Chains A and B, each alone.
Chain A
């Protein structure tokens, strides 16, 4: 790891200022993406600004049909939250299958969304439920937040403060995990929401995306059979040592079917 200066921010405002005054400042939340990347010398921030302990970024609350999760809330806290389990069980279930217990004891929702790994789980829930990402500057709808491979609508020095999820009528997430890393080879989040059915796919392409064909079919009939014969095109999907684009396309249909069955069960 290259050397850097470490700062423990006392507030979001201070974190933003510290980031601005650094030549290359990086926020640190759970560290479970940033530290491995720095260890491999793929990232070399001049300054690391620790925001993990900030009270204003913590906590889970449910009110008026909305689940609010502070950006520095750990995966394990979302997975074990009785409120989340009750309001959006699919979200708690998703968080409970991220990586392994030690990853969940440290990794945070804000870190996961800022990083936007193409195989990460949270992006599927955020896009699938039509959540809103709140920052120190603005509120960004899920449909406008994800911009493809590790790209998001966040600007330099913008801090995610919380995420708000509208409670869905029904929802479920199914992932086919990479057996070594537990990241999603393919993961599909389906939700029956007030605004209609939403289907979000992670792991398969360069970034999380919605399947309009599946949403239409499930809008007409929210049954596993409705998506059984719908295939997403493998044209823009990932191909690597873990799976070919064709296999990933196949898995999207399988995971979508299973997710709908789970949502209905």
Chain B
């Protein structure tokens, strides 16, 4: 089995993995980081989105071995101790989740948007969320939360 080494949430990790191990399974099963979810097997739902080297990526459509030397950030890597990341805080404030299954992927995707576009319009937010499905909220509060977080992050 090949060995793969990468940085996950700022920590160096390395393991022997089968090449067919998906990044999401590596994160969940080897590292116990179960915040990253699997919601589909067609690469469409976005519950598994993580950040790889500064870009949001579906970790269900990425082999762990492809991430050799990469910097990966998951939902667990966002908060600073007890302080939530502004995007997480905005989701809480705006009631942007119900069951919460889609939330980690939504938050990771939204952070990538705000990094590229500091003041996204409502339309831009909705278009950006094309790859993130939510079965509960109807999206309205998610869109509100992202706009609010963008404002906080602009300072």
Contact = CB atoms under 8 A, between A and B. Distances in A.
A binds B: yes
Interface of A: 1-6, 8, 28, 31-32, 35-36, 38-40, 48, 50, 52, 76, 99-103, 105-106, 180-182
Given A39-B41, A106-B57, A106-B61, A101 B112 contact: yes
B19 A5 contact: yes
Interface stretch (B63-71, B85-93, B134-142, B147-155): B63-71
Contact of B18 (A3, A31, A50, A105): A3
B130 interface: yes
A181 B55 CA distance: 21
Given A3-B18, A3-B20, A48-B19, A31 B63 contact: yes
Interface residues of B, number: 29
Interface string B125-138: 00010111000000
Contact of A181 (B44, B46, B57, B132): B44
A101 B66 CA distance: 20
Given A101-B109, A101-B113, A102-B56, A4 B44 contact: no
B120 to A, nearest CB: 12
B42 interface: yes
B2 interface: yes
Contacts of A4: 19-20
A101 B131 contact: yes
B68 A106 contact: no
Interface of B: 2, 18-20, 22, 41-44, 46, 49, 55-58, 60-63, 65-66, 68, 109, 112-113, 128, 130-132
Contacts of B131: 99-103
Q: Is the interface of B mostly helix, strand, loop or mixed?
A: mixed
Contacts of A105: 55-57, 112
Given A32-B61, A35-B63, 13 more contacts: A1-B20, A3-B19, A28-B66, A31-B62, A31-B66, A39-B41, A48-B63, A100-B131, A102-B49, A103-B43, A105-B112, A106-B58, A180-B44
A38 B62 CA distance: 12
Most buried by A among B18, B22, B41, B131: B131
17 contacts: A1-B22, A2-B20, A3-B18, A5-B19, A31-B61, A31-B66, A32-B61, A36-B43, A38-B20, A39-B22, A52-B66, A100-B131, A101-B113, A101-B130, A105-B55, A105-B112, A182-B130
A141 B41 CA distance: 36
Given A31-B61, A50-B66, A105-B56, A100 B19 contact: no
Nearest to B69: A53
A102 B109 contact: yes
B41 A40 contact: yes
Nearest to A40: B41
Nearest to B116: A80
Contact of B42 (A31, A36, A52, A106): A36
A41 B44 CA distance: 17
A193 B145 CA distance: 46
A2 B18 CA distance: 11
Given A100-B130, A101-B109, A182-B130, A6 B19 contact: yes
B41 to A, nearest CB: 6
Most buried by A among B18, B66, B112: B66
B56 A101 contact: yes
A100 B126 CA distance: 11
Contacts of B62: 31, 35, 106
